[in-house]
Chains A and B, each alone.
Chain A
């Protein structure tokens, strides 16, 4: 009976086990790192600690966020330090009680599909639960084309 913190990317809604989250915070300034992997947005200063920020939009093959979006950093502990997953905005905490999580369909593919651990049904949409493990392990086949947009 895990609880999930939801967040938005473009118009999609995602969930992450709250036990995996250290904090959610706004960080005004990110220093880009030239020649870094496609999913790295840059470096941010989290109270004196330098964290690598992960651009989830790039991972899911979404277009860059418009300027109007003030992104949030979902800080997840990683090897004694921390990583930041950048989302457009944070949602709320969802508790699904004993309801089982539906595993992603086998045919499920596309950019970022390796992150999707399972799906819960919401009233009007599907909540994709993500597992950041492939990000930790730095395991991405290649850079997806940044053309796909959610209808």
Chain B
């Protein structure tokens, strides 16, 4: 590549961009075979290639382009009409041109491939057309095209314009092992290339070797949208990626120095200097943004190749698949883009090959004949999310389990204990992907472990949402591992921490009166009421201790902190109590190094303007150490959440939270509690004097029976026994909530019944101990919802016995 002249290099780059355009146009030509603008656009690309090779002396390429031109002008003039056969031929032409461009780039003029047969075939295609009615001699054309060496087999789509004979012929061709051997232009046979792929230095070479037709274009500059390519291609230059990396690092250092200088400027505070610094600061920021942009590429650069992958594969499998793409403008760092290229292509192939059923099966199942694959990309929570959903058959968990058992990957016992969702996860097990699996398991799971490994290598994660019979959604989350991020610098217990701004929803200043400053407590957990939602609060020190296995022993103490940083983690929002907010800053993320890898609370470290080191908080890591993040219910609803419009109601997580009728009662010194009305038998009011003692417990007579009484306060922490005892005799009457099970009854004493409400039981805080279902907001008050049957069993095990789920 180094030895070829600049003019040739430009030609190759230009030719490649042209070919991208060419393929896209061909795909649209397939849909509307007579659109004159499309044909003209294709023609122009081929013509440009031909023109350039004329004076550069690439005879083979010129000959190819020339024949292509002939064919295309016939299409343009309307003497021929594009049929699948011609379009296949044009695709092959494109592949051949790309292959030659690649050879030229490698310094091997035009490569050793012989295209004379292909040229003859193209001529024949044209002369046959002239000589016979459309379709009449299509057979010979198809046969010939199919015989072209080195390229994909030609398969006429849907027999349009082809004779039955042609179809037979084509069917034979396509029955050649369709997946493994078909050199798809974009999707080299997986997973072999994935193992060698994406280290940057190798990319050009490996992909060229493995897939002659693939686009090994390492063009570092962002490519322009296809429509503008022709107008803009002389405004782009090619830059070595290592050079860009070096500039990137230098800019990182520059930002650091700028920050340090800024510190001095702020302390010095003299006029002209400050202005200069501001200037420096602005320029540095802009420079940094510019350099970052050079590495960012829209994901559609990668997706651009997907329509063709789907087209070819769908044809090969005899399926009809529509590909929809959303969010192609989502930008990703070039390295990351390279790294996810193969996994994504693989998933796409899986979706077409194993996910989408054949048209007949689909119709029989009542689905539209055309399968649908939706690929979406978007930024959320500081990560790039890529989702690929299909409306195919999903994963058959039983088959997966059987396969995993056969392969000895899991034991029969563990299969029995697994839920459907866990079973589906088995496809990620290494060793699940084998050639056998392709034929025996009609679900998915080919090479999924490789996909997972590759995504995890760049710090991402793969999640799977399976709807058996309805389709499958794969969610890939990739972190933005960019070197410089905006962060908020905060102070907690005299230490500075940086919080990435992507994780911050808002900063709240605590203004409440008194030592609590508006912070409320549920058990020993501080919460803050933010616009009607309960926000659990955490202290950094508490988290550090919790992660070390110590229990935080700081109950309701006065709040020293002044701010709450509202943080967003995967499934929960939570507030971090901190003492002071310093400023926002662009920080350079430095890794913590091998020895601190096990500490999951920090994402890295950075050097501050004063030269000291500050730790960068890892918000998802913090969330893992907060108890609520382990709440299984919340996790389930997240897993089941369904992004696919068609499957809106398939996931349980989408169901609205049911309303329940609740009795709200007050326990003096504790606060309101809520009891689901369905769980209680009746309410009684007793004079305090009616409480008697029998067999060591308080009892009262009720409807001719002796009913044991339970003081709820005994089970609610934060209220001492003495306190509760002194509380009751004061009032003359007690209210008793009667809980009955069969003939047994028990009375729960409360101080006052406040209200009866219908409320949605969406727990803001999960259950903290047995008997409490969780905490929710009722009429603006944090209220614990309690489960009488559990308390009855706790208080009177002799009567209500061992745990009974029916309660």
Q: Are B547 and A35 in contact (CB under 8 A)?
A: yes
14 contacts between A and B (CB under 8 A): A30-B613, A33-B602, A33-B615, A34-B599, A35-B544, A36-B595, A40-B596, A43-B615, A48-B256, A50-B590, A50-B605, A50-B607, A52-B596, A138-B595
Known A33-B615, A34-B601, A36-B599; contact A45-B607, beta-carbon cutoff 8 A? yes
Any B CB within 8 A of the CB of A67: no
Instruction: Report the separation of the CA atoms of residues A138 and B598 in the bound assembly, to the nearest whole angstrom.
Output: 11
Q: Which of chain B's residues has its CB closest to A50's CB? A: B590
Q: Are A33 and B599 in contact (CB under 8 A)?
A: yes
Q: Of A30, A52, A54, A79, which is in contact with the most chain B CB atoms at under 10 Å from its CB?
A: A52
Any A CB within 8 A of the CB of B253: yes
Any B CB within 8 A of the CB of A31: yes
**Which A residues are CB-close (under 8 A) to B592?**
33, 43, 50, 52
Q: Which of chain B's residues has its CB closest to A136's CB? A: B594
Q: Are A45 and B611 in contact (CB under 8 A)?
A: yes
User: Which residues 579-598 of B sit at the A interface, judged by CB distance below 8 A?
Assistant: 590, 592-596, 598
Q: Are A79 and B594 in contact (CB under 8 A)?
A: yes
CB distance from A42 to the nearest CB of B (A): 8
Q: Which 8 A-B pairs have the closest CB atoms?
A: A34-B544, A31-B613, A43-B613, A50-B590, A52-B593, A35-B547, A52-B595, A35-B599
Q: Are B594 and A138 in contact (CB under 8 A)?
A: yes
Any B CB within 8 A of the CB of A98: no
Q: How many residues belonging to A are interface residues under a CB distance threshold of 8 Å?
A: 22
CB distance from B498 to the nearest CB of A (A): 12
**Which B residues are CB-close (under 8 A) to A44?**
613
Q: Which of chain B's residues has its CB closest to A51's CB? A: B593
Q: Are B605 and A40 in contact (CB under 8 A)?
A: no
Q: Are B615 and A31 in contact (CB under 8 A)?
A: yes
Instruction: Report the separation of the CA atoms of residues A54 and B595 in the bound assembly, to the nearest whole angstrom.
Output: 10
**Among candidates A29, A30, A33, A79, residue contacting B596 with C-beta atoms closer than 8 Å:** A33
**Among candidates B548, B594, B613, residue contacting A50 with C-beta atoms closer than 8 Å:** B613
Q: Are A45 and B601 in contact (CB under 8 A)?
A: no
17 extra interface residue pairs, beta carbon distance < 8 Å, beyond A31-B613, A34-B601, A48-B256: A29-B611, A29-B612, A30-B613, A31-B614, A33-B592, A33-B596, A34-B547, A34-B548, A37-B596, A40-B595, A43-B615, A50-B592, A50-B613, A51-B593, A52-B593, A52-B595, A138-B594
Q: Is the interface of A mostly helix, strand, loop or mixed?
A: strand
CB distance from A151 to the nearest CB of B (A): 31
**Which B residues are CB-close (under 8 A) to A52?**
592-593, 595-596
Known A33-B602, A35-B544; contact A48-B253, beta-carbon cutoff 8 A? yes
Q: Which of chain B's residues has its CB closest to A34's CB? A: B544
**Which B residues are CB-close (under 8 A) to A43?**
592, 605, 613, 615
CB distance from A22 to the nearest CB of B (A): 16
User: Which residues 26-76 of A sit at the B interface, judged by CB distance below 8 A?
Assistant: 29-31, 33-37, 40, 42-45, 48, 50-52, 54
CB distance from B595 to the nearest CB of A (A): 5
Instruction: Report the separation of the CA atoms of residues A75 and B399 in the bound assembly, to the nearest whole angstrom.
Output: 57
**Which B residues are CB-close (under 8 A) to A31?**
495, 605, 612-615
Q: Are A45 and B612 in contact (CB under 8 A)?
A: yes
Q: Are B595 and A48 in contact (CB under 8 A)?
A: no
Q: How many residues belonging to B are interface residues under a CB distance threshold of 8 Å?
A: 24
**Which A residues are CB-close (under 8 A) to B613?**
29-31, 42-45, 50
Instruction: Report the separation of the CA atoms of residues A138 and B256 in the bound assembly, to the nearest whole angstrom.
Output: 30
**Which B residues are CB-close (under 8 A) to A81?**
593
Q: Of A33, A36, A52, A81, which is in contact with the most chain B CB atoms at under 10 Å from its CB?
A: A33
Q: Which of chain A's residues has its CB closest to B540's CB? A: A34
User: When each residue 555-592 of chain B gets 1 if its CB lies under 8 Å from chain A and 0 otherwise, what string results?
Assistant: 00000000000000000000000000000000000101
**Which B residues are CB-close (under 8 A) to A48?**
253, 256, 607
**Which A residues are CB-close (under 8 A) to B598?**
37
CB distance from A141 to the nearest CB of B (A): 15
CB distance from B600 to the nearest CB of A (A): 8
CB distance from B539 to the nearest CB of A (A): 12
Q: Which of chain A's residues has its CB closest to B594's CB? A: A138
**Which A residues are CB-close (under 8 A) to B612?**
29, 31, 45
Q: Which of chain B's residues has its CB closest to A44's CB? A: B613
Instruction: Report the separation of the CA atoms of residues A80 and B612 in the bound assembly, to the nearest whole angstrom.
Output: 22
**Which B residues are CB-close (under 8 A) to A35?**
544, 547-548, 599, 601
Instruction: Report the separation of the CA atoms of residues A138 and B596 in the bound assembly, to the nearest whole angstrom.
Output: 10
Instruction: Report the separation of the CA atoms of residues A71 and B612 in the bound assembly, to the nearest whole angstrom.
Output: 17
CB distance from A58 to the nearest CB of B (A): 13
**Which A residues are CB-close (under 8 A) to B590?**
50
Q: Of A34, A37, A45, A138, which is in contact with the most chain B CB atoms at under 10 Å from its CB?
A: A34
Instruction: Report the separation of the CA atoms of residues A81 and B594 in the bound assembly, to the nearest whole angstrom.
Output: 11
**Which A residues are CB-close (under 8 A) to B605?**
31, 43, 50
Instruction: Report the separation of the CA atoms of residues A79 and B495 in the bound assembly, to the nearest whole angstrom.
Output: 29
Instruction: Report the separation of the CA atoms of residues A87 and B612 in the bound assembly, to the nearest whole angstrom.
Output: 21
Q: Of B253, B598, B607, B611, which is in contact with the most chain A CB atoms at under 10 Å from its CB?
A: B607
Instruction: Report the separation of the CA atoms of residues A81 and B596 in the bound assembly, to the nearest whole angstrom.
Output: 14
Q: Are A36 and B596 in contact (CB under 8 A)?
A: yes
Instruction: Report the separation of the CA atoms of residues A36 and B600 in the bound assembly, to the nearest whole angstrom.
Output: 10
CB distance from A128 to the nearest CB of B (A): 22
CB distance from B391 to the nearest CB of A (A): 46
Instruction: Report the separation of the CA atoms of residues A42 and B615 in the bound assembly, to the nearest whole angstrom.
Output: 10
CB distance from B606 to the nearest CB of A (A): 8
**Which B residues are CB-close (under 8 A) to A42?**
613
Q: Of B253, B598, B613, which is in contact with the most chain A CB atoms at under 10 Å from its CB?
A: B613
CB distance from B269 to the nearest CB of A (A): 24
